[in-house]
Amino acid sequence: GQQLNQSPQSMFIQEGEDVSMNCTSSSIFNTWLWYKQDPGEGPVLLIALYKAGELTSNGRLTAQFGITRKDSFLNISASIPSDVGIYFCAGLNYGGSQGNLIFGKGTKLSVKP
């Protein structure tokens, strides 16, 4: 099925480092959502973006809805060990009879050895 292009696929972090990841699509969306998923669990919502150009923060997390409506990025500042996990972006065109999220393949955050 259709998926978003999410990069990087994986990255290693050292405590205190800032982290950036992004998501691009060939289609436009009117909503972008970012989730974090731990092994064996469901995705947990981090940030929701509803307007092109919107910049939203949630603690150490900041996400932006791209002006073209085809991309979004997520930044994590001053990473801590519990930030380890898989981060997913998801795009949505909300309204009418459609409502399903289109997900990227995820960015896996691991701790540097």
113 touching other proteins, by CB under 8 A: no
Q: Are 72 and 22 in contact (CB under 8 A)?
A: yes
91 touching other proteins, by CB under 8 A: no
Name, in order, each residue with C-beta under 8 angstroms of 46's C-beta and a sequence gap of 6 or more: 34, 35, 36, 58, 61, 63, 74, 87
Q: Of 5, 15, 27, 45, which lies in the binding site for other proteins, with binding defined by CB under 8 A?
A: 45
Q: Of 19, 22, 25, 31, which lies in the binding site for other proteins, with binding defined by CB under 8 A?
A: 31
The CB-of-50 to other proteins minimum distance in angstroms stands at: 7
